[in-house]
């Protein structure tokens, strides 16, 4: 079940608690001759995604309409039946915008059922990718609203995306997520509900998609995997509305990375193939290299060395074609050495330690921001330990711990803990000192 962010947002707007809604629904049901005995726990289940039976959804609409002094439909409260027509407000994106902004609002308010929701798997995980890849397209994304969207607004969103991405790289997703979500609520939501032409709307949805993707990255880095997935799915829908297939492929790459983390290796392969196939000429060498490298990691985990090595060769070929300054802002993360560290991980899974060491060395020898460098040093530490070079591993782990100081990132903590465990387990000289440095980095509160 997906959390019902629409109902949650309306309850907040109406100023009704869970217990208050239950009481009002019971009263409204009594007027219809129904003997209802709902309590706050029932409302909590509705907010988690459970659909109430019988006439109760209609009663909820009735209660909220009276409180908010406007008509409220089943779609408005998240209880529209699958397959039914969406809200008749002109653009088919209207309903999506309301659902998306409701999620941002619930996230900013730190609703537990939003933050703790698990990532979906199977068909619910695949459908957003399928819908991005296949017709129908959005013929017209224009909208009429109170605020007219300008070129300056689009520039503001793009600048915000760059700002929060840089903050994420320096401080981690835990520290950055609240800020980017606050910006989405305060600045972006009013623009999406504003007035814009089809052409301006394409630019607006593209800029918003890039910003929402950063929110997803921060949620992923905070280990809120269900929330991250929902942000990625939102960003993918925005990318489709923008008409920018390259942006969509970038967001698919984020889903591929999350699939690898969740050990959904076949899904990772399929998603990467969808991005490469659908983006076509709009895909850039940097993004293609990253997608092929992640496919290689997935195949390696599946024990398919033939396909893993084939993807490694494709990744290396694409990486040779990367031209700094010719890539869109979003693919700036594919810095020199990133493909090397991805390939090193794949080769390590295949058991080819010498080749993995060569790529890991190349990755560490390339310039990178602190976050990327920590991950590269962690990979090289593992390889050195596997090759029995304990002294070198301790030296690398020490640099890794120093660079990780002050970063608020759950994914980074995972890497640090894994390195610490391997170091201490090796029993090598200097391991305890390096472990103490890692413990210092881990003491940063999340």
Higher-pLDDT residue of 263, 327? 263
pLDDT-derived band of residue 443, with 50, 70 and 90 as boundaries? confident
CATH number at residue 278: 1.25.40.10
- Grouping H, G, I as helix, E, B as strand and the rest as coil, residue 148 is strand
* pLDDT mean over 403-417: 90
User: Distance of alpha carbon 196 from its chain centroid, rounded?
Assistant: 27
In this structure, are 202 and 310 located in the same domain? no
Query: What's the rounded Cα separation, in Å, for the pair 367 and 332?
Result: 13
pLDDT tens per residue across span 30-88? 999 999 999 999 999 999 889 998 899 999 999 999 998 888 888 889 887 644 333 33
In this structure, are 337 and 378 located in the same domain? no
In this structure, are 193 and 153 located in the same domain? yes
pLDDT tens per residue across span 102-159? 999 989 988 888 888 899 999 999 999 999 999 999 999 999 988 899 999 999 999 9
| Predicted local confidence at residue 146, as pLDDT | 86
Neighbours of 257 (CB within 10 A): 21
373 has a pLDDT exceeding 50: yes
Partners of 148 in beta bridges: 195
pLDDT tens per residue across span 191-212? 999 999 999 999 999 999 999 9
Looking at 44, 64, 85, the residue that finishes a domain is: 85
Query: What's the rounded Cα separation, in Å, for the pair 303 and 13?
Result: 52
- Grouping H, G, I as helix, E, B as strand and the rest as coil, residue 175 is helix
Q: Hey, CA dihedral for 219, 220, 222, 226, is it positive or negative? A: positive
Query: What's the rounded Cα separation, in Å, for the pair 378 and 412?
Result: 10
Please check whether residue 337 lies inside any domain of the structure: yes
442 has a pLDDT exceeding 90: no
- Grouping H, G, I as helix, E, B as strand and the rest as coil, residue 82 is coil
Please check whether residue 306 lies inside any domain of the structure: yes
In this structure, are 167 and 32 located in the same domain? no
In this structure, are 325 and 254 located in the same domain? yes
Provide the H-helix boundaries in 123-244.
Answer: 123-133, 151-171, 173-183, 189-192, 198-221, 225-242
91 has a pLDDT exceeding 70: no
In this structure, are 21 and 141 located in the same domain? no
Return the structure tokens found at 122.
């199977």
Query: What's the rounded Cα separation, in Å, for the pair 289 and 312?
Result: 9
Average pLDDT, rounded, for the chain: 91
Query: What's the rounded Cα separation, in Å, for the pair 434 and 331?
Result: 34
Please check whether residue 364 lies inside any domain of the structure: no
In this structure, are 138 and 196 located in the same domain? yes
User: Over pLDDT 70: what percentage of the chain?
Assistant: 96
Cβ-based neighbours of 383, under 8 Å, separated by 6 or more: 344, 348, 353, 356, 357, 360
Q: pTM for this one?
A: 0.86
Neighbours of 337 (CB within 10 A): 23
Looking at 55, 70, 85, the residue that finishes a domain is: 85
- Which domain does 250 fall in, by range? 245-357
In this structure, are 102 and 181 located in the same domain? yes
* pLDDT mean over 155-174: 95
Please check whether residue 362 lies inside any domain of the structure: no
In this structure, are 389 and 343 located in the same domain? no
275 has a pLDDT exceeding 50: yes
Please check whether residue 264 lies inside any domain of the structure: yes
342 has a pLDDT exceeding 60: yes
pLDDT-derived band of residue 262, with 50, 70 and 90 as boundaries? very high
User: Over pLDDT 90: what percentage of the chain?
Assistant: 71
In this structure, are 96 and 197 located in the same domain? yes
In this structure, are 97 and 239 located in the same domain? yes
Query: What's the rounded Cα separation, in Å, for the pair 169 and 166?
Result: 5
Quick one: which H or E segment has residue 107?
helix 93-108
In this structure, are 75 and 96 located in the same domain? no
Partners of 195 in beta bridges: 148
* pLDDT mean over 382-392: 90
Is 239:132 a contact under the CB 8 Å cutoff? yes
Query: What's the rounded Cα separation, in Å, for the pair 43 and 119?
Result: 22
Please check whether residue 271 lies inside any domain of the structure: yes
Please check whether residue 157 lies inside any domain of the structure: yes
* pLDDT mean over 401-429: 88
DSSP label at residue 10: H
Query: What's the rounded Cα separation, in Å, for the pair 92 and 339?
Result: 39
| Predicted local confidence at residue 13, as pLDDT | 83
Looking at 199, 222, 243, the residue that finishes a domain is: 243
Is 230:253 a contact under the CB 8 Å cutoff? no
Q: How many domains does the chain have?
A: 4
Query: What's the rounded Cα separation, in Å, for the pair 414 and 419?
Result: 9
pLDDT tens per residue across span 218-233? 999 999 999 999 999 9
428 has a pLDDT exceeding 80: no
Please check whether residue 67 lies inside any domain of the structure: yes
Query: What's the rounded Cα separation, in Å, for the pair 369 and 385?
Result: 24
Half-sphere CA count of 371, side-chain side, radius 13 A: 20
Stated length of the chain: 446
């Amino acid at each position: 079940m997906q959390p019902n962010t629409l109902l949650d947002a309306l309850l907040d707007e109406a100023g009704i608690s869970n217990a208050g809604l239950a009481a009002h629904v019971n009263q409204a049901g009594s007027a219809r001759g129904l003997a209802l005995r709902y309590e706050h726990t029932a409302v909590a289940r509705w907010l988690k995604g459970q659909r109430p039976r019988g006439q109760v959804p209609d009663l909820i609409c009735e209660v909220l309409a009276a409180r908010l002094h406007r008509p409220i439909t089943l779609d408005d409260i998240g209880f529209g039946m699958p397959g039914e027509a969406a809200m008749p407000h002109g653009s088919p994106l209207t309903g999506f915008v309301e659902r998306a902004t409701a999620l941002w609002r619930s996230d900013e308010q730190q609703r537990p059922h939003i933050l703790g929701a698990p990532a979906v798997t199977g068909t619910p995980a695949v459908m957003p990718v399928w819908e991005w890849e296949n017709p129908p397209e959005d013929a017209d994304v224009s909208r009429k609203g109170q605020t007219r969207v300008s070129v300056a607004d689009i520039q503001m969103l793009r600048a915000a995306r760059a700002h929060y991405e840089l903050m994420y790289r320096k401080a981690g997703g835990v520290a950055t997520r609240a800020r980017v979500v606050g910006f989405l609520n305060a600045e972006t939501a009013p623009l999406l509900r504003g007035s814009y032409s089809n052409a301006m709307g394409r630019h607006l949805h593209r800029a918003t998609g890039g910003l929402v993707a950063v929110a997803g990255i921060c949620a992923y880095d905070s280990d809120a995997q269900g929330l991250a997935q929902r942000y990625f799915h939102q960003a993918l829908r925005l990318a489709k509305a923008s008409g920018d297939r390259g942006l969509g492929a970038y967001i698919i790459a984020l889903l591929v990375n999350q699939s690898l983390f969740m050990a959904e290796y076949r899904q990772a392969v399929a998603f990467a193939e969808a991005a490469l196939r659908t983006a076509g000429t709009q895909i850039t060498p940097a993004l293609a290299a990253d997608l092929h490298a992640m496919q290689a990691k997935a195949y390696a985990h599946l024990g398919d060395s033939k396909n893993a090595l084939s993807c490694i060769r494709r990744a290396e070929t694409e990486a040779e074609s990367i031209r700094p300054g010719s890539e869109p802002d979003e693919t700036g993360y594919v810095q020199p050495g990133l493909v090397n560290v991805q390939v090193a991980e794949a080769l390590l899974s295949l058991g080819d330690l010498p080749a993995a060491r060569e790529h890991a060395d190349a990755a560490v020898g390339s310039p990178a921001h602190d976050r990327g460098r920590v991950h590269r040093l962690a990979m090289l530490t593992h390889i050195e330990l596997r090759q029995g070079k304990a002294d070198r591993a301790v030296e690398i782990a020490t640099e890794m711990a120093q660079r990780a100081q002050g970063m608020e990132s759950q994914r980074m903590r995972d890497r640090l803990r894994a390195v610490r465990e391997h170091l201490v387990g090796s029993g090598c000289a200097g391991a305890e000192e390096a472990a103490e440095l890692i413990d210092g980095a881990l003491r940063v509160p999340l």
